[in-house]
């Protein structure tokens, strides 16, 4: 009977508008929740009657969906490990309780933002109990190749805030000018010397001591030789030469003062000095801690050693490595690399945070604390380097705000209230009509 279907349609209107009001209430309540994705409720009509005959009201049905693919505004913070995703992709996290029981095997959840700080055990954990996950770096700071279609390689990011770190020196660069007048006939032939610090495998400061001996012409009428002998010594054994090279410099109009030839000594040290590469300007010496690659400049290049009519001048002498330093902080760069900083200036990569992409973000299953899990509806996930493929980058010192528009939600609340009242009025009217029907028998 059509009048009965009108009653059912009115009841359906009450139920669906109550459901919509619930989603509106949830959105407004979370308008200040970082990373919250608003819920949207849509109505669908239900048609029960076919063509012809009396009409029966089918009513309405509500479908609720969380719009996970919407992104909120990023705001700045004062914590280097407050993270947000700018663009596509989501951060991998784990539940702190599951990390305590499963360790590195804790299941992976997804989120778009989080405020992470080290807990008592060093894990980067948010106040809501989410632990940031990433790929651990190798000892040299490189990231090994991990599978991208599974979370098996991810581990909870753990920071050892009490760690010490040192970095042995493996490379030097010598930008030094040698006085051209020292190779002239009337020169006193003064030996120039310089000491370059390096750090051994235990972080101890050592030095490579280098002397430059000019070749002075034998006769006053002889031209300048433009020739020097470079000898290198290790401070751990200062009496032993670890490298000896005879160098000549060009006095041509083009490239004057640059290296012309570099000849290693065939007998010093024992077995001869290491060869010199004229294209790269590199040679390798062996100190007590191991080999050190030294850049003295390529042939014809004035960036390394030069010989000009000027004083002996160490213009640019650099080295890598550092002494032992104390941990001072951690930060995450836009590509997801987690870097530990030390008071010596040393910066060491310890993890890489990937960004996870799925074909349908709105198909993810929602959990507490703005976390999600992949489902069949979302499609399979893939772990990207931040900034590659469809993903954006990771922003530190930032949080993502809620996607709730309070003004829009209040407007929808007014509409929902009116629709609810109208559905209630339908039920009241049907009740009055049924009452009139029962009065016919009187």
Tell me the per-residue pLDDT of 230-262, one tens digit each, with 9 for 90 and over: 999 999 999 999 999 999 999 999 889 999 999
For the cut 90, the answer to whether the pLDDT of residue 198 exceeds it is yes
Cβ atoms of 298 and 280 closer than 8 Å: yes
Residues 370-387 have a mean pLDDT of 94
User: Residue 47 has what pLDDT?
Assistant: 75
Average model confidence (pLDDT) across the chain = 91
pLDDT band at 156, cuts 50/70/90?
A: very high
The two tokens of residue 58 are 């089918």
The Cα–Cα gap between 23 and 129 comes to 25
CA distances (Å), origin 72, targets 85, 195, 290, 306, 395: 10, 56, 53, 57, 13
The answer to whether the beta carbons of residues 283 and 172 sit under 8 Å apart is no
Q: What is the per-residue pLDDT for 61?
A: 82
Placement of tokens 């931040």 in the chain? 386
Query: How many Cβ atoms sit within 10 Å of the Cβ of residue 388?
Result: 13
The pLDDT value given to residue 314: 95
Q: What pLDDT score was predicted for residue 49?
A: 67
Does 146 score more than 60 pLDDT?
A: yes
pLDDT in tens, 202-221: 889 999 999 999 999 988 88
Report d(CA 246, CA 229) in Å as an integer. 5
Distance CA 125, CA 7 (A): 53
Instruction: Please give the pLDDT value at position 58.
Output: 67
Q: What is the pLDDT of residue 51?
A: 60
All structural domains of the chain, each given as residue ranges with its CATH number in brackets, are 2-67+403-439 (no CATH), 74-165+325-400 (no CATH), 169-320 (2.60.98.20)
The predicted structure's pLDDT at residue 1: 52
Contacts of 194 (CB under 8 A, 6+ apart): 176, 209, 210, 314, 317
Share of residues in the chain with pLDDT > 90 (%): 70
What would the mean pLDDT of 294-302 be, rounded to a whole number?
93
Percent over 70 (pLDDT), the chain: 98
Residue range 330-338: mean pLDDT, rounded: 94
Furthest-apart CA pair in the chain: how many Å?
146
For residue 50, what pLDDT is reported?
Answer: 60
Helix or strand holding residue 367 (H, E) = strand 365-367
At 342-374, the pLDDT tens digits run 888 888 899 999 999 999 999 999 999 999 999
Q: Please report the pLDDT score of residue 241 as a whole number.
A: 96
What is the C-alpha to C-alpha distance for residues 367 and 375, in angstroms, rounded to an integer? 13
What local confidence, expressed as pLDDT, does residue 15 receive? Answer: 87
Per-residue pLDDT, 60:
81
Angle, in degrees to the nearest 10, between helices 2-29 and 406-439: 160
Q: Distance between CA 397 and CA 115 in Å, rounded?
A: 9
Q: What average pLDDT does the segment 316-324 reach? A: 90
Confidence class of residue 7 from pLDDT cuts 50, 70 and 90? confident
Contact 349, 337 (CB under 8 A): yes
What is the pLDDT, as a whole number, of residue 63?
86
- pLDDT value for 104: 78
Give the model's pLDDT for residue 3: 75
Residue 131 structure tokens: 């632990």
Interval 74-96: pLDDT, tens: 999 999 999 999 999 999 999 99
pLDDT at 132: 96
pLDDT of residue 25: 93
Helix (H, G, I), strand (E, B) or coil at 288: coil
pLDDT of residue 236: 93
**Among 334, 326, 336, CA closest to 124:** 336
pLDDT beyond 80 at 5: no
């Amino acid at each position: 009977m059509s009048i009965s279907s009108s009653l059912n349609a009115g009841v359906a209107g009450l139920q669906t508008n109550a459901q919509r009001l619930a989603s509106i209430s949830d959105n407004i309540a979370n308008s200040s929740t970082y990373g919250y994705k608003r819920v949207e409720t849509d109505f669908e009509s239900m048609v029960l009657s076919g063509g012809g005959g009396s009409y029966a009201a089918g009513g309405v049905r509500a479908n609720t969906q969380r719009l996970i693919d919407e992104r909120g505004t990023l705001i700045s913070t004062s914590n280097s490990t407050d993270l947000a995703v700018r663009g596509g992709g989501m951060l991998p996290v784990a539940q702190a309780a599951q990390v305590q029981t499963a360790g590195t095997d804790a299941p992976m959840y997804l989120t778009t933002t989080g405020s992470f700080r080290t807990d008592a055990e060093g894990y980067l954990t948010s106040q809501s109990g989410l632990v940031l996950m990433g790929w651990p770096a190798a000892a040299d700071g490189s990231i090994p190749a991990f599978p991208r279609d599974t979370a098996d390689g991810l581990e909870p990011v753990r920071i050892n805030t009490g760690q010490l770190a040192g970095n042995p020196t493996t490379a030097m660069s010598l930008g030094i000018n040698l006085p051209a007048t020292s190779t002239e006939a009337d020169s006193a032939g003064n030996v120039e010397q310089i000491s370059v610090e390096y750090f051994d495998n235990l972080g101890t400061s050592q030095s490579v001591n280098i002397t430059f001996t000019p070749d002075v012409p034998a006769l006053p009428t002889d031209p300048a030789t433009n020739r020097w002998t470079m000898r290198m010594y290790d401070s751990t054994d200062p009496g032993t030469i670890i490298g000896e090279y005879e160098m000549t410099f060009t006095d041509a109009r083009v490239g004057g003062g640059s290296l012309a030839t570099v000849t290693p000594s065939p007998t010093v040290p024992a077995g001869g000095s290491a060869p010199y590469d004229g294209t790269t300007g590199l040679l390798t010496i062996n100190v007590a801690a191991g080999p050190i690659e030294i850049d003295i400049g390529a042939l014809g290049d004035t960036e390394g050693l030069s010989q000009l009519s000027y004083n002996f001048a160490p213009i640019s002498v650099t080295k890598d490595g550092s002494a032992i330093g104390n941990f001072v902080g951690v930060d995450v760069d836009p590509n997801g690399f987690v870097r530990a900083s030390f008071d010596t200036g040393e910066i060491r990569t310890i993890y890489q945070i990937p960004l996870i992409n799925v074909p349908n973000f709105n198909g993810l299953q929602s959990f507490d604390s703005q976390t999600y899990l992949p489902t069949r509806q979302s499609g399979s996930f893939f772990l990207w380097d931040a900034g590659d493929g469809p993903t954006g980058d990771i922003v530190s010192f930032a949080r993502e705000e809620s996607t709730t528009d309070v003004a829009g939600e209040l407007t929808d609340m007014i509409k929902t209230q009116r629709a609810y009242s109208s559905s209630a009025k339908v039920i009241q009217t049907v009740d009055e009509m049924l009452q009139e029907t029962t009065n016919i028998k009187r």
